[in-house]
Structure 1
């Protein structure tokens, strides 16, 4: 074997090693990209819907105002767009049977794990569902952190589904046509409290 053949042979092996490394790197990069897409899609997809309801965690002041509004109330509570479950878990601490409905599967999983970790698995339930297709009739208390564009449609849903005496707490934006019984807090932490009449307004 000549020196040139040896060099060529070495060069060929090196090229094969580089090709294999490249394939592995492309595979890893592609796998990471797919994983990131799967994880981030539920957070990005709300922006693509007709009404965007982004995940924005409630502040401690907002939570405090909600439970001022719920003082003296009992029964079942539903948090529409429950996010990381903090309102539902706080409601469980206040002796409510509390449920959350959330479209983002990762937030639903997180909420369920957090409920188990904090000892509220039996008092809470989290549903991975579209809030517009979720029946509100079993609940005496409804909490919503909405956006302005959805409040009129939500008001129609409340009028149709909620029974008389249901307590509705709207956070960040009010319902457009129902007069609130109370307004608690100010600025971004404001909550509007409504009581559904038996005549459905």
Structure 2
């Protein structure tokens, strides 16, 4: 697995604090990834979408469970890191990475969407997430740390470190958005 340089990490935090990113880069611990995949019941036949896929490790873990995996990453350096990590895995044929803004992500084919963004990043994605869950109420969205404002989680679990993992589906939507 290829790792991120300190310069890249520093740059992502600076861009985040300047207000032009939905979250700084911060890789999800492996144990937490496995816990999220279990909470979301990721299985063969699922289409797993990681909004802000970082180094691509989450995509590889989802592919190991038999899911098709798609990642979106805006930072070109980190997207390249993800592509290299995916190529080095034996799951490259099941994984696609798009280098683009998360707000332009195509969720229409997804069954599971994962976000590890900032609170403000989750808010900026609300129009996309509302459209997604309104059209696919059985789909699952999982967030780490920050909830999705106006949504009610159907399940919340804590990591060993006490960090909340929240699961949402069509039942989580505010009443005015439910079909």
The verdict on a shared fold, with TM-score over 0.5 as the criterion, is yes
Of structures 1 and 2, the one with the larger relative CO (CA 8 A, separation 6+) is 2
Unaligned 5+ runs, structure 1: 1-36
Residue in structure 1 matching 2:40, options 70, 74, 82? 70
Are the aligned partners of 1:81 and 1:100 in contact in 2 as well (CA < 8 Å)? yes
The CA RMSD over aligned residues, in Å, is 2.7
Give distance in 2, aligned partners of 1:72 and 1:161.
18
Other-structure match for 2:167: 193
Other-structure match for 1:144: 115
Are the aligned partners of 2:9 and 2:25 in contact in 1 as well (CA < 8 Å)? no
Other-structure match for 2:58: 87
Other-structure match for 2:23: 53
Other-structure match for 2:142: 169
Give the C-alpha shift of residue 128 in structure 1: 0.2
Higher mean C-alpha displacement, 70-79 vs 126-135: 70-79
- CA 1:52–1:155: 2 relative to 1, 3 Å: closer
Give the C-alpha shift of residue 72 in structure 1: 5.8
| Count of aligned pairs | 166
Give distance in 2, aligned partners of 1:106 and 1:191.
27
1:134 equivalenced with 2:139 (yes/no): no
Could you report, residue by residue, the CA deviation over 1:86-139 in whole angstroms, capped at 9, with x for unpaired residues?
Answer: 111110111110010000111111111111111111010110000012222221
Unaligned 5+ runs, structure 2: 1-6
SS of corresponding position for 2:93: coil
Give distance in 1, aligned partners of 2:118 and 2:27.
13
Other-structure match for 1:184: 157
- CA 1:118–1:159: 2 relative to 1, 3 Å: same
Richer in helix (by share): 1
Give the C-alpha shift of residue 70 in structure 1: 2.3
SS of corresponding position for 1:122: helix
SS of corresponding position for 2:142: strand
Give the C-alpha shift of residue 71 in structure 1: 2.1
Other-structure match for 1:103: 74
Q: What TM-score do the two structures reach when normalised by structure 2?
A: 0.80
Q: What TM-score do the two structures reach when normalised by structure 1?
A: 0.72
Bigger-Rg structure (1/2): 1
